């Protein structure tokens, strides 16, 4: 395998209009924001990564501006001039920086893309080369769609119908107290057989166990993160009272966390967001743990641009990812995205992997510059560089 020498790292803070907002139990952001990382090596090759984030510390504790600060002031200086044989060296290089997983993941993702390109491999094959034999990626990944809280049940039902017509075979709905049982009942009345799951984004407490148990008859694939964003233990108490499998999202930040959750019985399924756990190196450890314990796994999303989505899709193509991932077609998110070509949903609810090396999609420099200007116009007082 070829190694690379890191010459320069540039950051692009962007804002992109969303085709459809995603209202969760903690609200909706009016546009998609991200820190895009561009790594250049000593031979002029370029790798791209994305710190998928929100502008507010509402999903996790990081924001666009914390990621910018950590990346610019700590991570980049540790990398420039380094020779790297594999992106799996990055966690060791960054070990003096605690937390800040989304920031670290953006940089690591750019290195994964760069090294895959230097070795003329698709990112999915490059991931597989870091696993034992028998994990060759598929050429596509099974996906679903995540739909936000709507103004009325009628609108929610209409939107689900549209997404089913698009070809999505798994629907995830956001819930919050007051938008849960009645919603599940209405959705099941209209769509008795669809693959359905609910995501609470930490909107409930253990005192709501009785109410959550009333969701059991609706044959849900899973309920995602019902309890606190930083809780594992109480989820284990809740799981003993629910037939519906609990899937953890917000509270799992590492393979270590997931091992603890499994030991406690705090969840049966993991929503693995590579950015939440600090990058693809840690994601591979979690993947191996899930394979070893035969626990269901899928890849989550943060409304990524084509850069983050192509990388997540490449990971979702690994055979140990067993459930539909939150990686939807480009037209669910942006018109246009900052990359080409767009991801188009196939009739079998799959997205095809790009054929080219690395992430396999091309960043459109003009659209990137436009998205950076949009960020600046929305955030005139935010310090950038």
Task: Find out whether 199 and 175 touch, Cβ atoms under 8 Å.
Answer: yes
The partner residues of 352 in beta bridges, in order of sequence, read: 140
Give me the residue whose beta carbon is nearest to Mg ion: 249
372 binds ligand OSB (CB under 6 A): no
Smallest distance, Å, CB 52 to ligand OSB? 8
Residue among 113 and 249 whose Cβ is closer to ligand OSB:
249
Q: Check 174, 211, 285, 352 and give the catalytic one.
A: 174
Q: Which two tokens stand for residue 94?
A: 């960054």
Residue among 26 and 191 whose Cβ is closer to Mg ion:
26
Known catalytic residue: 32?
no
| Residue range at the interface with ligand OSB (CB under 6 A); choices 129-137, 175-183, 300-308, 339-347 | 300-308
282 binds Mg ion (CB under 5 A): no
Residue among 88 and 146 whose Cβ is closer to ligand OSB:
146
Q: Check 32, 54, 273, 285 and give the catalytic one.
A: 273
Residue of 320, 164, 261 lying closest to 173 (CA atoms):
164
199 binds ligand OSB (CB under 6 A): yes
Within 309-328, the residues that bind ligand OSB by CB under 6 A are 326, 328
Task: Find out whether 173 and 199 touch, Cβ atoms under 8 Å.
Answer: yes
| Residue range at the interface with ligand OSB (CB under 6 A); choices 73-81, 274-282, 295-303, 367-375 | 295-303
349 binds ligand OSB (CB under 6 A): no
326 binds Mg ion (CB under 5 A): no
302 binds ligand OSB (CB under 6 A): yes
Residue among 252 and 357 whose Cβ is closer to Mg ion:
252
| Residue range at the interface with ligand OSB (CB under 6 A); choices 186-194, 208-216, 298-306, 344-352 | 298-306
Count of residues touching ligand OSB (by CB under 6 A): 12
224 binds Mg ion (CB under 5 A): yes
304 binds Mg ion (CB under 5 A): no
Residue among 287 and 333 whose Cβ is closer to ligand OSB:
333
Q: Which two tokens stand for residue 218?
A: 């609706």
6 binds ligand OSB (CB under 6 A): no
203 binds ligand OSB (CB under 6 A): no
What is the binding site for Mg ion (CB under 5 A)?
Answer: 199, 224, 249
Report the catalytic residues. 174, 273
Q: Which residues bind ligand OSB (CB under 6 A)?
A: 22, 59, 146, 199, 201, 249, 300-303, 326, 328
């Amino acid at each position: 395998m070829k190694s690379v020498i890191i010459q320069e790292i540039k950051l692009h803070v962007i804002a992109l209009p969303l085709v459809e907002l995603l209202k969760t139990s903690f609200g909706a952001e009016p546009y998609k924001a991200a820190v895009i990382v561009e790594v250049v090596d000593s031979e002029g090759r370029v790798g791209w990564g994305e710190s998928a984030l929100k502008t507010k510390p509402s999903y996790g504790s990081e924001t666009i501006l914390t990621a910018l600060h950590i990346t610019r002031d700590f991570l980049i200086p540790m990398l420039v001039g380094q020779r790297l044989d594999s992106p799996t060296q990055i966690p060791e290089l960054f070990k003096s920086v605690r937390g800040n997983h989304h920031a670290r993941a953006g940089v690591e993702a750019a290195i994964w893309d760069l090294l895959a390109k230097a070795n003329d491999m698709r990112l999915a094959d490059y991931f597989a080369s870091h696993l034992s034999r028998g994990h060759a990626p598929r050429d596509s990944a099974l996906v679903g769609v995540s739909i936000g809280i709507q103004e009325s049940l009628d609108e929610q039902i209409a939107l689900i119908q549209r997404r089913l017509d698009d070809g999505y075979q798994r629907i995830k709905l956001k819930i919050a107290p007051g938008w849960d049982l009645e919603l599940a009942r209405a959705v099941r009345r209209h769509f008795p057989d669809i693959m359905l799951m609910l995501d609470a984004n930490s909107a409930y407490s253990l005192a709501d166990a009785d109410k959550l148990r009333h969701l059991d008859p609706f044959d849900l694939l899973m309920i995602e993160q019902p309890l606190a964003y930083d809780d594992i233990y109480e989820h284990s108490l809740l799981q003993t009272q629910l037939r519906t499998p609990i899937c953890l999202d917000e509270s799992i930040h590492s393979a270590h966390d997931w091992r603890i959750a499994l030991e406690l019985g705090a969840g049966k399924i993991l929503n693995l967001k590579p950015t939440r756990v600090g990058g693809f190196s840690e994601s591979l450890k979690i993947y191996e743990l899930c394979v070893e314990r035969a626990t269901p796994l899928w890849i989550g999303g943060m409304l990524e641009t084509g850069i983050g989505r192509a990388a997540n899709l490449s990971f979702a193509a690994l055979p140990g990812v067993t459930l539909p991932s939150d990686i939807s077609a480009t037209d669910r998110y942006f018109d246009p995205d900052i990359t080409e070509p767009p991801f188009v949903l196939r009739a079998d609810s799959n997205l095809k992997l790009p054929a080219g090396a690395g992430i396999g999609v091309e960043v459109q420099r003009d659209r990137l510059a436009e998205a950076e200007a949009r960020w600046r116009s929305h955030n005139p007082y935010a310090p950038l560089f």
